[in-house]
Structure formats: structure tokens, C-alpha cells
Amino acid sequence: MATPEHRILTRVLQTGELKEVLSNGITPEDFLSLTHRAMWEMLVSYYENQQTAGSVVSPEMFRSKFPEFDLVEAPGMTTTALCHELRSQRLAHQIKEVATQAVEEADTDPLAAAIRLRELAEEVLQRGNTNISDVRLSEHIDNTIENYLRKESGEVQPVIHWPWAPLDEETGGVADEDYVLFWGRPKSKKTFVITYTMAQAYLEQNKRILCYTKEMSPDNMLLRIAAFLGKLPYREIRLGKLSAHEKATLLDLKEFVRYRAEVTGGRNDLIVLSGQDANGNDGVSWLRSRVEMYEPDILFVDGLYLLKDDRSMKRTADWQRVTNISRDVRQMVLKTKVPVIATMQANRSAAKNKEAALDEIAFADAVGQDITQGFRVINDKNSPTIALVAGGSREYQLHGIRIYGIPCSNFGFKSVMSEKEIEQAAENDGENDMEEAHAKPRKRKLKKSSEDDHLDAALARLS
């Protein structure tokens, strides 16, 4: 009985419909037989060759190279149907192979086995659809204009508004396909920045918030959120030294939070995830399962670079691991329509820059390519304020803003920053790095990290 591979090759040789087969997404990987794969690659190579571009090898020429190949008929099937059969055969083989591996792994690590099966299911669903979903401007222009008019009228709103009006006006807030990153040097207060954003989205915009932190415990994160909601001094609430009035505010907050959850049926709530039940598998697949469970309006991730890499079961270089994490986050946002706001560390080159360059993001250049909005966080040296500088700031007329930075008491808007102020803030950020270096001298010369190697390579490519 002729296989789907045999039928596809015959159809191309008989009708010359190689272009249609390619448009259905058929690739060499769809051919399980190495012999048939070699035949397919020969046809495609001839079709794409500069001297024979657009031409299909004749049956006679094909048989001169593969004399054992016999043409088989499939008169009752369209070319698209043949492509579907070929892809189905490949997917069936792949499912059986991965399922066998998952069964073997289930006894020792059932969560890892489940993640492997989930990834397979997504790939099968994606590859199983050979329909062409490309969009023509001539067909879509009405939708484009309609979408604009809905935005202009205010019918379409962002998922959340930024709590600082000038930034919100410039960016349009955070939309359902946004992947936003705040990066900064250690102690830059970037976690406080996203905590304030969470608190404002919950309190002022009635949003359902999901948060996962790799930088601190869930209890500590919730303490900061509660302090922001009550505008309570962070040091005093952390040490149990609130004044009588401040303590009364904290107790009133308990009643307010429970009342709001009750009247909204739990819809307006703020959930901080615990990674304990992930058993070390707290990667993007695990995060997505929680997004689907809680159906939040937005997801915050504190310490994105510390997530597990779902794509590799072995230890990989930091830049590769973070690249995989970032790419998976981008795909999660596009599929779930739940935006992500995350934090990451800035690498040491940030201290040398006078603006927010995307190559400052630690570990991987890919992160800067994936995000839709990005801001460098600089803790001002001489005042209780924080600079938020737009990454790739030439995209915005607003290059940076300064906000207050009094932990949990005041993170409100202070002023729009001039280019000179941005440069000065960046220089001071570099001085802070130098001060840390002098305060903690190294006893021995450290080896150059993989992060530095990757950064040097990226800078060399740019130059």
C-alpha cells in the first residue's frame, strides 16, 4: 500500500503542484522515510535553484536519479488532502514517541512528564492546522479602520492603565498582547515599582491580578502589596512598629479586601502564586497552567530570569536558558491574551550607558527583541526618587519619567525627565556600582562569566 509520502511525491511529479504543497507547510521533517525525505529535498532544491527556479523535475529526470520509485495514483484526493494525510502520519508518530518517553518518566517525575505532554499537545495542534491564515490588506482594511475607530471612541481600553499619567498617555497603557519588562541594577527598587503597579491596578482599576515572585516569599510580596494599598510605611509594617492610626488603617484594609472579593464573587482579587507545588518545574508551562486556572487580567513575574527553562532537560548556558524563557513568555502572552509585566537584572554594562539600551538586559539579547515595552529602573542617588527610562527610547517622545520612591508610602509621579536628567541619573547609577565594588573588594580575580562573553559577542556584532 502506498504511503502518504509516496502519494505526495507522485502528485508533485504528475501535476507540478509543488508550490501548493509548500503553501500547506510541508517540510522535510514530515517525511518519516529517509529515502522519501531525500527525494523531497531534491525536488525542492531544483525548484529553488537560481537557474531552475519555479520548475518541477520531470518524472523521467526524477526516475534517472531514483529508478526504484514508481508513480502511484490518488485520483480521488485533492493535493491539500494528501498534505493533511502526510502531516497526520508525522504527528501520530511523534505522539507515540513522546508518549512513550512520558510514560517512562511518569514514575520518577510526573510533573515533568505532564509538561512534556502539554508541549507536545500544543505542537500537534499548531502543526495539525495546515490552513493558510495569512491576512491580505485588501481584505482586512475594513477591520483595521474599525479597530482604530473603536480605540478613538474609547470603546477599546487597555488591560490596565499605568499609574503615572504621562507614561500611560505615551504608551496607551498595557494591552492584551504586551510583554513589559523593568530591568535595573540590584537595589534599584524595581520590585517595589511593579508592586505599586499591581496595587494600583487592583485598587483603582478593579483588576484580577496574578503574581509570581522568584525574588522573595509570597508572604513578603503580600506584605508589600498591603502596605501600598494602605499607604503604610514599609519599614514600620515590616518591623511591627506602626503607629496606632497606621495599625487601624491596616485593620480596615482587611475588611475592605474581603468585602471587595465578596461583592465581585472573587473576580477582583490579587493572587500571589507559591512555587512549592511545582516541585522545581516552575517554568512558563507551569505559569500558563495557573493563568488558565485563575483567568487573571494580567500576570506579574518578579525575577523572570530565575524561572525554569521548559525547553531543556539539561543544564544550559544562562543566556540560552533566559532566551528560551523569554520566547515562551512571548508565546504565552500571544496565546492567552493575558499581558505580562516582569522584572530582570541589568548587566554590568548598564553602568556605562547614558540611556536605556536594550542590550543592558542581563543574560540574553533575545529578551530585548521579545518585549513590547521596556524600562530601565534607576534608584536616584541623592533623593528618594526613581527614574524610569524607556528602553529604545527613540520610539517614544517621552524618554523617561521620575517617580517618588518612598517604599509603600509614595510611588506617585514626580516629573518628566529631560535628556540631561536621564544622562545624570545613568551616571549616578554607574557611580553606585563603583561604590559597591569598592565596598566589597574581591580577594581573587573571577573568571569571565558566560553572560559577559555573550554581551561581548553582541556588542561586536553591533559594531
Give the separation between CA 172 and CA 179, rounded to whole angstroms: 14
Cβ neighbours, 10 Å, residue 414: 19
- CA angle, 87 then 88 then 92, to 5°: 120
What is the mean predicted confidence (pLDDT) over 302-324? 85
Q: Which residue has the higher pLDDT, 451 or 87?
A: 87
What the block records as the C-alpha cell of 102 is 512520558
Q: What is the residue extent of each domain of the chain?
A: 4-128, 156-462
Stretch (H or E) spanning 302: strand 298-302
Contacts of 276 (CB under 8 A, 6+ apart): none
Cell numbers representing residue 223 in the block = 506584605
4-128 shares its CATH topology with 156-462 = no
pLDDT at 414: 96
Stretch 300-321: mean pLDDT = 85
The CATH H-level (homologous superfamily) assignment of domain 156-462 is: P-loop containing nucleotide triphosphate hydrolases (3.40.50.300)
**365 burial level (CB within 10 Å; 0-12, 13-18, 19+):** buried
Please write the tens of the pLDDT for every residue from 194-219: 999 999 999 999 999 999 999 888 99
Task: Give 289-309 pLDDT, tens digit per residue.
Answer: 999 999 999 999 999 999 998
Res. 424: pLDDT tops 90: no
pLDDT for the residue 393: 44
Dihedrals phi, psi of 225, to nearest 5 degrees? -65, -45
* Number of Cβ atoms within 10 Å of the Cβ of 9: 26
CATH number listed for the domain at residues 4-128: 1.10.860
Q: What distance in Å separates the CA atoms of residue 434 and residue 174, rounded to the nearest whole number?
A: 35
pLDDT surpassing 90 at residue 396: no
Concatenating the DSSP letter of every residue in 203-262 gives HHH---EEEEESSS-HHHHHHHHHHHHHT--HHHHHHT---HHHHHHHHHHHHHHHHHHH
